[in-house]
Amino acid sequence: MTAAEIIVSDLCKSEYYKKRYQDPILMCRKASTATCEGSIYKEIKRIIEDTNNCAGLNDDIANLSTNLLPDLQEQCEEQVYKFIGWA
């Protein structure tokens, strides 16, 4: 249940969201993983623009293949787990 859902549930005196309840830690983990996945490209671009250096791509974002990006995104869940001490 998100914070917004709790507020609306309290306002409406509704049980609707309780039926859809998810563990808040699980929800945060999922949201953090999705945020990471969506940020990989932007972070690569930023580091290359700021430092002109990304050895894994020979310093050029054009070398980021359509195969490599999903591989990098798949690492997000494990990294999130490490952040929260689950790994």
* 83 neighbors 29 (Cβ within 8 angstroms): no
Tell which residue, 28, 40, 1, 35, has the closest CA to residue 84.
Answer: 28
Is 56 within the bounds of a domain? Answer: yes
Is 14 within the bounds of a domain? Answer: no
Is 65 within the bounds of a domain? Answer: yes
Tokens describing residue 68 = 């490599």
Is 77 within the bounds of a domain? Answer: yes
Count other C-beta atoms under 10 Å from residue 21's C-beta.
Answer: 10
Domain extent, residue 48, equals 23-83
Tokens describing residue 6 = 């709790």
* pLDDT tens for each residue of 13-67: 777 766 666 677 788 888 899 999 999 999 999 999 999 999 999 999 999 999 9
d(CA 41, CA 47): 10
pTM above 0.75, yes or no: no
Is 30 within the bounds of a domain? Answer: yes
Count of domains in the chain?
A: 1
Is 15 within the bounds of a domain? Answer: no
Is 66 within the bounds of a domain? Answer: yes
